[in-house]
Structure 1
Protein backbone atom coordinates (compact mmCIF):
# COMPACT_ATOMS: atom_id res chain seq x y z
CA UNK A 1 0.00 0.00 0.00
CA UNK A 2 1.45 3.35 -1.08
CA UNK A 3 1.51 6.17 1.49
CA UNK A 4 -1.02 8.95 0.99
CA UNK A 5 0.08 12.34 -0.29
CA UNK A 6 -1.51 15.59 0.86
CA UNK A 7 -0.42 19.05 -0.33
CA UNK A 8 2.77 17.56 -1.74
CA UNK A 9 3.75 15.87 1.54
CA UNK A 10 3.77 12.24 2.52
CA UNK A 11 1.31 11.30 5.25
CA UNK A 12 2.68 8.93 7.87
CA UNK A 13 0.03 6.86 9.65
CA UNK A 14 1.07 6.44 13.28
CA UNK A 15 -0.42 4.01 15.81
CA UNK A 16 -0.17 5.17 19.44
CA UNK A 17 -0.56 2.76 22.37
CA UNK A 18 -0.65 3.29 26.14
CA UNK A 19 -1.79 1.90 29.50
CA UNK A 20 -4.16 -0.88 28.41
CA UNK A 21 -3.47 -3.74 26.00
CA UNK A 22 -6.04 -3.45 23.23
CA UNK A 23 -8.13 -6.61 22.83
CA UNK A 24 -8.72 -5.53 19.24
CA UNK A 25 -4.99 -5.82 18.56
CA UNK A 26 -4.09 -8.71 20.87
CA UNK A 27 -7.01 -11.02 21.70
CA UNK A 28 -8.68 -10.55 18.30
CA UNK A 29 -5.57 -9.83 16.26
CA UNK A 30 -5.49 -10.05 12.48
CA UNK A 31 -2.34 -9.06 10.62
CA UNK A 32 -4.39 -6.88 8.29
CA UNK A 33 -5.13 -4.55 11.20
CA UNK A 34 -1.55 -3.25 10.98
CA UNK A 35 -1.63 -2.70 7.23
CA UNK A 36 -0.92 0.90 6.32
CA UNK A 37 0.65 1.69 9.71
CA UNK A 38 4.02 3.43 9.20
CA UNK A 39 5.14 3.76 12.84
CA UNK A 40 4.08 2.52 16.28
CA UNK A 41 4.63 4.60 19.44
CA UNK A 42 4.13 3.23 22.95
CA UNK A 43 3.58 5.79 25.72
CA UNK A 44 4.14 3.23 28.47
CA UNK A 45 2.49 0.90 31.00
CA UNK A 46 2.09 -1.95 28.54
CA UNK A 47 3.24 -5.54 28.91
CA UNK A 48 6.50 -6.19 27.04
CA UNK A 49 4.94 -9.33 25.55
CA UNK A 50 2.24 -7.17 23.95
CA UNK A 51 4.73 -4.86 22.23
CA UNK A 52 6.88 -7.82 21.18
CA UNK A 53 3.81 -9.51 19.71
CA UNK A 54 2.95 -6.47 17.59
CA UNK A 55 6.58 -5.98 16.54
CA UNK A 56 6.68 -9.56 15.24
CA UNK A 57 3.89 -8.78 12.76
CA UNK A 58 5.20 -5.53 11.32
CA UNK A 59 8.36 -4.23 9.70
CA UNK A 60 7.89 -0.66 10.94
CA UNK A 61 9.70 0.61 14.05
CA UNK A 62 8.00 0.18 17.43
CA UNK A 63 9.32 2.96 19.66
CA UNK A 64 8.63 3.12 23.38
CA UNK A 65 9.19 5.00 26.62
CA UNK A 66 8.63 3.60 30.11
CA UNK A 67 5.49 4.01 32.14
CA UNK A 68 5.57 4.06 35.93
CA UNK A 69 4.57 0.37 35.98
CA UNK A 70 7.25 -0.80 33.52
CA UNK A 71 10.00 -1.84 35.95
CA UNK A 72 9.83 -5.32 34.39
CA UNK A 73 11.37 -3.92 31.19
CA UNK A 74 14.79 -4.04 32.87
CA UNK A 75 14.50 -7.83 33.09
CA UNK A 76 12.40 -8.42 29.98
CA UNK A 77 12.48 -5.54 27.51
CA UNK A 78 10.06 -5.84 24.56
CA UNK A 79 11.80 -7.77 21.77
CA UNK A 80 12.07 -6.07 18.41
CA UNK A 81 11.23 -2.66 19.86
CA UNK A 82 13.35 0.48 20.30
CA UNK A 83 13.75 2.31 23.61
CA UNK A 84 13.96 6.08 22.99
CA UNK A 85 14.26 7.24 26.61
CA UNK A 86 16.33 10.46 26.76
CA UNK A 87 16.87 10.35 23.00
CA UNK A 88 15.67 11.93 19.78
CA UNK A 89 14.94 9.21 17.24
CA UNK A 90 14.60 10.36 13.65
CA UNK A 91 12.39 8.30 11.34
CA UNK A 92 11.77 9.43 7.77
CA UNK A 93 12.64 12.95 8.78
CA UNK A 94 10.32 13.02 11.81
CA UNK A 95 12.15 13.84 15.05
CA UNK A 96 10.70 11.98 18.06
CA UNK A 97 11.89 12.83 21.56
CA UNK A 98 11.29 10.34 24.39
CA UNK A 99 10.91 11.04 28.12
CA UNK A 100 9.06 8.34 30.05
CA UNK A 101 8.04 7.91 33.66
CA UNK A 102 5.58 9.55 36.04
CA UNK A 103 5.70 11.94 38.96
CA UNK A 104 7.22 10.31 42.06
CA UNK A 105 4.47 9.21 44.44
CA UNK A 106 6.15 6.12 45.95
CA UNK A 107 9.31 4.08 45.41
CA UNK A 108 9.76 3.16 41.78
CA UNK A 109 12.45 3.19 39.11
CA UNK A 110 10.38 5.07 36.57
CA UNK A 111 9.17 7.85 38.86
CA UNK A 112 10.68 11.33 39.15
CA UNK A 113 10.28 14.53 41.11
CA UNK A 114 9.74 17.74 39.17
CA UNK A 115 13.43 18.61 39.69
CA UNK A 116 14.60 15.18 38.53
CA UNK A 117 12.58 15.47 35.32
CA UNK A 118 13.94 18.98 34.77
CA UNK A 119 17.47 17.58 35.03
CA UNK A 120 16.63 14.94 32.42
CA UNK A 121 15.29 17.64 30.12
CA UNK A 122 18.38 19.81 30.63
CA UNK A 123 20.62 16.91 29.64
CA UNK A 124 18.77 16.77 26.32
CA UNK A 125 19.81 20.27 25.25
CA UNK A 126 22.67 19.14 22.99
CA UNK A 127 20.54 16.52 21.23
CA UNK A 128 17.75 19.06 20.75
CA UNK A 129 20.21 21.59 19.35
CA UNK A 130 21.84 19.00 17.08
CA UNK A 131 18.46 17.98 15.65
CA UNK A 132 17.18 21.57 15.52
CA UNK A 133 14.26 20.76 17.79
CA UNK A 134 11.79 17.89 17.62
CA UNK A 135 8.45 17.19 15.96
CA UNK A 136 6.89 14.73 18.41
CA UNK A 137 7.33 14.64 22.19
CA UNK A 138 6.58 11.10 23.41
CA UNK A 139 6.13 10.73 27.18
CA UNK A 140 4.15 8.67 29.64
CA UNK A 141 2.90 11.51 31.82
CA UNK A 142 1.04 14.62 30.67
CA UNK A 143 2.22 18.19 31.20
CA UNK A 144 1.28 20.03 34.39
CA UNK A 145 -2.25 21.34 34.25
CA UNK A 146 -2.86 20.10 30.71
CA UNK A 147 -4.99 16.97 30.80
CA UNK A 148 -3.38 15.68 33.97
CA UNK A 149 -5.17 14.38 37.07
CA UNK A 150 -6.05 16.05 40.39
CA UNK A 151 -4.38 13.36 42.55
CA UNK A 152 -0.65 13.24 43.22
CA UNK A 153 0.18 10.10 41.16
CA UNK A 154 -1.34 11.65 38.03
CA UNK A 155 0.05 15.16 38.17
CA UNK A 156 1.91 16.25 35.05
CA UNK A 157 5.47 17.53 34.69
CA UNK A 158 6.17 21.25 34.57
CA UNK A 159 9.21 20.58 32.39
CA UNK A 160 6.93 19.35 29.60
CA UNK A 161 5.15 22.72 29.63
CA UNK A 162 8.54 24.34 29.05
CA UNK A 163 9.27 22.03 26.12
CA UNK A 164 5.88 22.75 24.52
CA UNK A 165 6.27 26.50 24.89
CA UNK A 166 9.88 26.74 23.74
CA UNK A 167 10.05 24.19 20.91
CA UNK A 168 6.41 24.02 19.79
CA UNK A 169 6.41 20.39 18.54
CA UNK A 170 3.65 19.38 16.15
CA UNK A 171 2.50 16.63 18.54
CA UNK A 172 2.72 15.86 22.24
CA UNK A 173 1.82 12.21 22.92
CA UNK A 174 1.37 10.81 26.42
CA UNK A 175 -0.52 8.15 28.38
CA UNK A 176 -1.04 7.69 32.15
CA UNK A 177 -4.51 9.29 32.22
CA UNK A 178 -7.07 6.54 31.68
CA UNK A 179 -10.42 7.07 30.02
CA UNK A 180 -12.22 6.33 33.30
CA UNK A 181 -10.32 9.11 35.13
CA UNK A 182 -12.09 12.00 33.38
CA UNK A 183 -15.75 12.77 32.70
CA UNK A 184 -14.91 14.58 29.45
CA UNK A 185 -12.10 12.37 28.17
CA UNK A 186 -10.58 13.58 24.89
CA UNK A 187 -7.87 11.71 23.00
CA UNK A 188 -6.81 14.57 20.73
CA UNK A 189 -7.03 18.33 21.17
CA UNK A 190 -5.23 21.53 20.18
CA UNK A 191 -2.75 23.34 22.40
CA UNK A 192 -1.64 26.93 21.70
CA UNK A 193 -2.38 26.61 17.96
CA UNK A 194 1.02 24.94 17.50
CA UNK A 195 0.73 21.51 19.06
CA UNK A 196 -1.80 18.70 19.00
CA UNK A 197 -1.94 16.70 22.22
CA UNK A 198 -2.82 13.01 22.01
CA UNK A 199 -3.62 10.75 24.94
CA UNK A 200 -2.70 7.33 23.61
CA UNK A 201 -4.90 5.39 26.03
CA UNK A 202 -5.39 1.85 24.63
CA UNK A 203 -4.92 2.75 20.94
CA UNK A 204 -5.19 5.74 18.66
CA UNK A 205 -4.24 6.35 15.03
CA UNK A 206 -3.35 9.71 13.52
CA UNK A 207 -1.72 10.91 10.33
CA UNK A 208 1.46 12.97 10.37
CA UNK A 209 1.55 15.68 9.15
CA UNK A 210 -2.14 16.33 9.72
CA UNK A 211 -2.85 19.11 7.20
Structure 2
Protein backbone atom coordinates (compact mmCIF):
# COMPACT_ATOMS: atom_id res chain seq x y z
CA UNK A 1 0.00 0.00 0.00
CA UNK A 2 1.27 3.47 -0.92
CA UNK A 3 0.18 6.30 1.41
CA UNK A 4 0.51 10.00 0.74
CA UNK A 5 0.70 12.01 3.98
CA UNK A 6 0.05 15.76 3.96
CA UNK A 7 0.29 18.50 6.60
CA UNK A 8 0.42 22.24 7.22
CA UNK A 9 1.12 23.62 3.76
CA UNK A 10 -0.68 22.97 0.48
CA UNK A 11 1.73 21.62 -2.12
CA UNK A 12 1.75 23.81 -5.23
CA UNK A 13 2.76 20.73 -7.19
CA UNK A 14 -0.43 18.97 -6.10
CA UNK A 15 -2.83 21.90 -6.30
CA UNK A 16 -1.72 24.63 -8.71
CA UNK A 17 0.19 22.30 -11.03
CA UNK A 18 -1.90 19.17 -10.55
CA UNK A 19 -0.98 16.20 -12.73
CA UNK A 20 -2.75 12.89 -12.19
CA UNK A 21 0.45 10.96 -12.95
CA UNK A 22 2.06 12.45 -9.79
CA UNK A 23 -0.32 10.21 -7.82
CA UNK A 24 0.37 6.98 -9.67
CA UNK A 25 0.17 4.07 -7.25
CA UNK A 26 -1.19 6.14 -4.33
CA UNK A 27 -3.82 4.05 -2.54
CA UNK A 28 -4.87 6.48 0.20
CA UNK A 29 -4.17 10.08 1.28
CA UNK A 30 -3.90 11.07 4.96
CA UNK A 31 -3.92 14.68 6.21
CA UNK A 32 -2.24 15.51 9.53
CA UNK A 33 -4.04 18.86 9.75
CA UNK A 34 -3.91 22.59 9.06
CA UNK A 35 -4.83 22.30 5.40
CA UNK A 36 -7.48 24.13 3.41
CA UNK A 37 -10.64 21.98 3.25
CA UNK A 38 -10.98 22.83 -0.46
CA UNK A 39 -7.50 21.39 -1.06
CA UNK A 40 -8.45 18.09 0.59
CA UNK A 41 -11.77 17.92 -1.30
CA UNK A 42 -9.94 18.67 -4.55
CA UNK A 43 -7.40 15.90 -3.99
CA UNK A 44 -9.86 13.15 -3.07
CA UNK A 45 -12.00 14.08 -6.09
CA UNK A 46 -9.17 14.35 -8.62
CA UNK A 47 -7.07 11.41 -7.40
CA UNK A 48 -10.07 9.15 -6.72
CA UNK A 49 -8.77 7.54 -3.51
CA UNK A 50 -9.99 7.82 0.10
CA UNK A 51 -8.68 10.79 2.07
CA UNK A 52 -8.49 10.55 5.88
CA UNK A 53 -7.86 13.56 8.10
CA UNK A 54 -7.39 14.85 11.63
CA UNK A 55 -7.76 18.46 12.72
CA UNK A 56 -4.86 20.83 13.10
CA UNK A 57 -4.92 23.70 15.58
CA UNK A 58 -6.04 26.07 12.77
CA UNK A 59 -8.84 23.87 11.44
CA UNK A 60 -11.84 25.44 13.21
CA UNK A 61 -13.05 26.37 9.69
CA UNK A 62 -13.87 22.66 9.19
CA UNK A 63 -16.94 23.23 11.40
CA UNK A 64 -18.37 25.58 8.77
CA UNK A 65 -16.92 23.94 5.67
CA UNK A 66 -15.61 20.41 6.25
CA UNK A 67 -13.53 18.74 3.52
CA UNK A 68 -16.13 17.17 1.24
CA UNK A 69 -15.76 13.50 0.39
CA UNK A 70 -13.10 13.02 3.09
CA UNK A 71 -13.19 10.90 6.25
CA UNK A 72 -12.49 12.39 9.68
CA UNK A 73 -10.66 9.86 11.87
CA UNK A 74 -10.57 11.90 15.10
CA UNK A 75 -10.67 9.50 18.07
CA UNK A 76 -11.23 6.57 15.70
CA UNK A 77 -9.33 3.56 14.42
CA UNK A 78 -10.05 3.47 10.71
CA UNK A 79 -9.06 0.30 8.88
CA UNK A 80 -8.23 0.40 5.19
CA UNK A 81 -7.04 -2.71 3.34
CA UNK A 82 -5.82 -4.22 6.61
CA UNK A 83 -3.95 -1.12 7.83
CA UNK A 84 -5.31 0.46 11.04
CA UNK A 85 -5.05 4.26 11.32
CA UNK A 86 -5.58 5.89 14.74
CA UNK A 87 -6.38 9.62 14.52
CA UNK A 88 -5.74 12.22 17.26
CA UNK A 89 -5.67 15.79 15.98
CA UNK A 90 -5.08 19.12 17.67
CA UNK A 91 -2.22 20.82 19.43
CA UNK A 92 -1.11 21.73 22.92
CA UNK A 93 -3.38 24.45 24.35
CA UNK A 94 -1.75 27.87 23.97
CA UNK A 95 -4.81 30.17 23.77
CA UNK A 96 -8.60 29.86 23.87
CA UNK A 97 -9.92 28.02 20.85
CA UNK A 98 -10.84 24.72 19.27
CA UNK A 99 -8.58 21.77 18.51
CA UNK A 100 -6.27 22.56 21.42
CA UNK A 101 -5.77 20.33 24.45
CA UNK A 102 -3.86 20.30 27.70
CA UNK A 103 -1.67 17.27 28.39
CA UNK A 104 -4.41 16.03 30.73
CA UNK A 105 -7.17 16.50 28.12
CA UNK A 106 -5.23 14.58 25.44
CA UNK A 107 -4.53 11.77 27.92
CA UNK A 108 -8.27 11.62 28.66
CA UNK A 109 -9.03 11.34 24.92
CA UNK A 110 -6.66 8.40 24.64
CA UNK A 111 -8.09 6.67 27.73
CA UNK A 112 -11.56 6.80 26.15
CA UNK A 113 -10.19 4.76 23.24
CA UNK A 114 -9.35 1.71 25.36
CA UNK A 115 -12.21 -0.43 24.01
CA UNK A 116 -11.52 0.46 20.37
CA UNK A 117 -7.81 -0.27 20.89
CA UNK A 118 -8.62 -3.62 22.48
CA UNK A 119 -11.17 -4.60 19.86
CA UNK A 120 -8.87 -3.68 16.95
CA UNK A 121 -5.82 -5.14 18.73
CA UNK A 122 -3.94 -1.83 18.52
CA UNK A 123 -3.12 0.14 15.39
CA UNK A 124 -0.49 0.33 12.63
CA UNK A 125 -0.28 4.08 12.00
CA UNK A 126 -0.71 6.84 14.59
CA UNK A 127 -1.90 9.98 12.77
CA UNK A 128 -1.71 13.21 14.77
CA UNK A 129 -1.27 16.90 14.19
CA UNK A 130 1.18 17.52 17.04
CA UNK A 131 4.36 15.55 17.65
CA UNK A 132 5.11 13.57 20.80
CA UNK A 133 6.78 15.36 23.70
CA UNK A 134 10.54 15.43 23.18
CA UNK A 135 10.25 14.00 19.67
CA UNK A 136 10.22 16.56 16.83
CA UNK A 137 8.46 19.09 19.08
CA UNK A 138 9.34 22.70 19.94
CA UNK A 139 10.09 24.50 23.17
CA UNK A 140 7.22 26.99 22.95
CA UNK A 141 3.83 26.08 24.44
CA UNK A 142 2.11 25.84 21.05
CA UNK A 143 4.60 23.34 19.63
CA UNK A 144 5.20 21.22 22.73
CA UNK A 145 4.25 17.61 21.96
CA UNK A 146 2.02 15.28 23.95
CA UNK A 147 3.40 12.82 26.54
CA UNK A 148 0.60 10.34 25.88
CA UNK A 149 1.77 9.84 22.26
CA UNK A 150 5.05 8.42 23.61
CA UNK A 151 3.06 6.01 25.75
CA UNK A 152 0.97 4.92 22.74
CA UNK A 153 4.15 4.23 20.76
CA UNK A 154 5.72 2.33 23.64
CA UNK A 155 2.64 0.21 24.34
CA UNK A 156 1.35 -0.54 20.84
CA UNK A 157 4.57 -0.30 18.77
CA UNK A 158 2.87 0.97 15.58
CA UNK A 159 4.81 0.79 12.34
CA UNK A 160 4.46 4.54 11.84
CA UNK A 161 3.78 7.68 13.85
CA UNK A 162 3.03 10.52 11.44
CA UNK A 163 2.42 14.12 12.54
CA UNK A 164 2.52 17.69 11.25
CA UNK A 165 2.50 21.02 13.10
CA UNK A 166 6.28 21.63 13.05
CA UNK A 167 7.12 23.40 9.78
CA UNK A 168 10.34 22.98 7.83
CA UNK A 169 10.57 26.78 7.70
CA UNK A 170 11.08 26.88 11.49
CA UNK A 171 14.82 26.35 11.06
CA UNK A 172 17.67 24.01 10.25
CA UNK A 173 16.95 21.81 13.28
CA UNK A 174 13.84 20.48 11.46
CA UNK A 175 13.72 16.68 11.69
CA UNK A 176 11.74 14.87 9.03
CA UNK A 177 12.41 11.22 9.88
CA UNK A 178 13.23 9.37 13.10
CA UNK A 179 13.00 5.94 14.68
CA UNK A 180 11.72 5.04 18.16
CA UNK A 181 12.10 1.32 18.74
CA UNK A 182 10.09 -0.37 15.98
CA UNK A 183 8.19 2.81 15.06
CA UNK A 184 9.22 5.11 12.21
CA UNK A 185 8.39 8.72 13.09
CA UNK A 186 7.62 11.09 10.21
CA UNK A 187 6.94 14.82 10.08
CA UNK A 188 4.52 15.00 7.13
CA UNK A 189 5.03 18.74 6.50
CA UNK A 190 3.67 19.50 3.00
CA UNK A 191 3.94 15.92 1.64
CA UNK A 192 5.56 12.58 2.38
CA UNK A 193 4.98 9.18 0.75
CA UNK A 194 5.21 5.86 2.61
CA UNK A 195 4.96 2.36 1.20
CA UNK A 196 3.70 -0.38 3.52
2:101 paired with 1:112 = yes
Give me the CA root mean square deviation.
0.8
Gaps of 5+ in 1: 1-11
Q: Aligned-pair distance for 1:34? A: 1.4
| TM norm structure 1 | 0.91
Query: Runs of at least 4 residues of structure 1 off by over 4 A?
Result: none
Deviations 1:35-66 (A, max 9, x none): 21011010000000000010111222100000
Separation of aligned partners in 1, 2:42 and 2:139: 34
TM-score by length of 2: 0.98
Please, which runs of 5 or more residues in structure 2 have no aligned partner? none
| Corresponding residue for residue 130 of structure 1 | 119
Q: Secondary structure at the match of 1:154?
A: coil
Question: 2:154 maps to what in 1?
Answer: 165
Q: Distance in 1 between matches of 2:94 and 2:178?
A: 28
Deviations 1:119-161 (A, max 9, x none): 0000000000000000000000000001100111100001101
Q: CA deviation at 1:183?
A: 1.6
Q: CA deviation at 1:188?
A: 1.8
Counterparts of 2:131 and 2:99 in 1: how far apart (Å)? Answer: 15
Decide which moves more: 31-40 or 20-29. 31-40
Mark the structure with the bigger radius of gyration.
1
